[in-house]
Amino acid sequence: MSSNAITIPGTQIQTRPWVDELHQWLTTVDHKRLGILYILSALLFLVIGGVEALVMRIQLMRAHNNFVSPEVFNRMFTMHGTTMIFFVAMPVLFGFANYLVPLMIGARDMAFPRLNAFSFWLSFLGGLLLYFSFLGGSGLYGAGSAPDVGWWSYAPLGARAFSPGHSSDYWTLALLVSGFGSIGTAINIIATIVSLRCPGMKISRMPLLVWLNLVMAGMVLIAITPLSAAQIMLLIDRYLGGHFFDTQAGGSAVLWMHFFWIFGHPEVYVLIIPCFAFMSEIIPVFSRKPIFGYPVMVGATVCIAFVSMSVWAHHMFTIGMNSYANSFFTLTTMAVGVPTGIKIFNWIGTMWGGKIQFKTPMLFSIGFLFQFLIAGLTGIMMACSPFDWQLSLSYFVVAHFHYVIVGGILFALFAAFYYWYPKMTGRMLSQGLGKWHFWLFLIGFHLTFDVMHIPGVLGMPRRIYTYEPGRGWDTLNLIITIGAFIQAFAILVFVANLVISYFKGARAGNDPWDAWTLEWSISSPPPAYNFATVPTVASRRPLWDLKHPEDPDSRYE
């Protein structure tokens, strides 16, 4: 393969006793190993969070079901939401950013390798702390076990008066600890991109994945800090007699909502922007064309980042803001649809006139485009605040954000797994199992989340452990539950694929997809410190230039 021309053999890692190997993994400061640790810990929590979802789905499968008690159900949805956002979605995306950003900019590691390790272990231990609540939550007071106040823990429900014992403290501390980890990683990503780009990689030549992770990291710095501040205030309320959110002593429940959602909404974009990044790498390669409108894609991302900082109160349309505030947040929320729309059009523009190869990563990418379109449109519906007065807090909104997080983020992540797994392990994931995974997950997803919009329209609120028969919700909920189990089965196929292919997958070689960015120029998995000689680039697609010396990109940029 032509790309072999700039392959630089790295130091071979020798086989060591497993204790040594384990020690290496636990003490590593290598960005690739930390990336993989992030991803593995996220997969672990994904399975746990998924089981929690299934418990809820079994309970709701028919009216007046008695599978779990209301207390357990409330813990399940609190833990499911907290786990999936803070200990699955963020770590897995940080993991890919950690792994890919240095490789794509021709760097040998992140800017601060030890901060990197510190951040990972903070995040992971935050997750363990959250789950320790099942054992330690009943603690001294004998009240509660895992947190059961919802993943946004609205005041005053999280106050001592309504949430005695320590369950809420585990929630608060877990978020605080993992939040510091997130901030560390964000600083690290920014510093790496700013200071470690290889010669020739001007900021206008960075792969879009790098650009978008830069934006994401900037947003993390802005979004996580108010959350951490709010958690500290909550701790002061709970233990030092503060009254920030203590409504019984004149505190403000609405203040907590503002703090939470000024984190919470940018957080959605913190999660989706790295997924846009995956799409912007994968769709061009499998369409055999460069990304359509690179500058506009960068501009749209920066625009999303700014606008998404001013939309948070659309989570609060029902709290009785005045008509001006409701109108303002309607406008900003709808406005964020414009740059997002540009992105969808530019991806279609990338496919237009290409020669699309339907490999597994591309299948998931097309699924992403289709589902993200629908998620965006239901988002427009809820941006329209009067419509939201009906839809908010109902199953419609649950369907909407799962469309974003599962239909969008998780599909993009699966695409990324199938695309970069060969680079990380040196083995291809099985295409056959991949297709089973894709189609099963697609069917399960649509069965669950398409149908889930309807009970919302029929007045079913979220977070209820049971419901009365005869409201027209029963059959719909049964279908939703069946879909959830199909998805769970598809995840099993995926995990099986990860494990089997690790041992038996076809050898990947350096560049299995005939791609164009720097990570494909070195061996799979890449050697320690990546590049024996730091590469020099002359365009956004250095490997294209190398493979097509007669018609390099550098001539047009």
Partner 1 sequence: MSMLRKSSTLRFLAQAILLLFWSAVAVWASEPKGSPSHGTNIFAPASTPAKSIADLSVFVLVITGIIFVVVFALLLYSVVKFRGRAMDAGHEPAQVYGSTQIELAWTIIPILIVVVLFLATARVIHSIQDAPEPAGAVQVTAIGHQYWWEFRYPKLGIVTANELHIPVGDPSHPTPTFLQLLSADTDHSFWVPELGGKTDLIPNHPNRMWMDPQRTGVFLGQCAQYCGTQHAKMLLRVSVDGPEEFASWVRAQQRPAVEDTGAIAGRRVFESNACMNCHAVAGSAADGRFGPDLTHLMSRATIGAGAAKNTHNNLRLWIQDPSAIKPGSLMPAMKLSDADLDAVVSYMETLR
Footprint (CB under 8 A) of partner 1, residues 424-453: none
Q: Residue 507: beta bridge partners? A: 427
CB of 367 or CB of 505, closer to partner 1: 367
Query: 532: closest CA among 543, 547, 521, 545?
Result: 521
Decide whether 157 or 198 has the Cβ nearer to partner 1. 157
Report 521-550 residues binding partner 1 (CB under 8 A): 548
Would you call 404 exposed, middle or buried from its count of C-beta atoms within 10 A (0-12, 13-18, 19+)? buried
> Is the Cβ–Cβ distance between 335 and 307 less than 8 Å?
yes
CB under 8 A, 24+ apart: contacts of 466-473: 466/59, 466/60, 466/63, 466/64, 466/65, 466/70, 467/60, 467/63, 467/64, 468/63, 468/64, 469/63, 469/64, 470/63, 471/63, 473/63
Site for partner 1 in 299-318 (CB under 8 A): 318
Choose between 222 and 254: whose C-beta lies nearer to partner 1. Answer: 254
Considering only residues 371-410, where is the footprint of partner 1 by CB under 8 A?
Answer: 373-374, 377-378, 380-381, 384-394
With binding defined as CB under 8 A, does residue 2 bind partner 1?
no
Q: At what angle do helices 253-287 and 337-351 cross, to 10 degrees?
A: 10
Near partner 1 by CB under 8 A: residue from 199, 241, 432, 472: 472
- The CB-of-243 to partner 1 minimum distance in angstroms stands at 11
Instruction: Name which of residues 231 to 260 contact partner 1 (CB under 8 A).
Output: 247-248, 250-254
119 binds partner 1 (CB under 8 A): no
Site size with partner 1, rule: CB under 8 A:
98
- Is the peptide bond between 525 and the residue preceding it cis, with omega within 30 degrees of 0? yes
Residue 510: CB minimum distance to partner 1, A: 19
Among 354, 426, 509, 527, binds partner 1 (CB under 8 A): 354
How far is residue 186's CA from residue 305's CA, in Å, rounded to a whole number?
A: 15
| The one among 294, 401, 411, 414 contacting partner 1 by CB under 8 A | 294
> How far apart are alpha carbons 321 and 327 in whole angstroms?
10
Residues 53-92 that bind partner 1 (CB under 8 A): 69-71, 74
Angle between the 474-504 and 431-457 helix axes, to the nearest 10 degrees? Answer: 160
Q: Please, what is the minimum distance in Å from the beta carbon of residue 522 to partner 1?
A: 23
Specify burial of residue 64 (Cβ count, 10 A radius: 0-12, 13-18, 19+).
exposed
Compare residues 28 and 394 and give the one whose CB is closer to partner 1: 394
Q: Which is nearer to partner 1, 252 or 310 (CB)?
A: 252
- How many other C-beta atoms lie within 10 A of the C-beta of residue 367? 23
Q: Is the peptide bond between 156 and the residue preceding it cis, with omega within 30 degrees of 0?
A: yes
Q: Does the footprint of partner 1 cover residue 184 (CB under 8 A)?
A: no
Cα 469 from Cα 64, distance rounded (Å): 7
What is the closest distance, in whole angstroms, from the C-beta atom of residue 335 to partner 1 in the complex?
6
Any contact of residue 9 with partner 1 (CB under 8 A)?
no
Binds partner 1 by CB under 8 A, chosen from 37, 84, 342, 440: 342
CB of 26 to partner 1, least distance (A): 39
Residue 348 near partner 1 by CB under 8 A: yes
Q: Which is nearer to partner 1, 217 or 383 (CB)?
A: 383
Angstrom distance (rounded) from CA 464 to CA 393: 11
Q: Decide whether 526 or 542 has the Cβ nearer to partner 1.
A: 542
DSSP string, 114-151: HHHHHHHHHHHHHHHHHHHHHHHTTTTTT--SS--S-T
Q: How far is the CB of 365 from partner 1 (least distance, A)?
A: 10
Nearer to partner 1, 77 or 99 (CB): 77
Kindly state the tokens that stand for 233: 């205030």
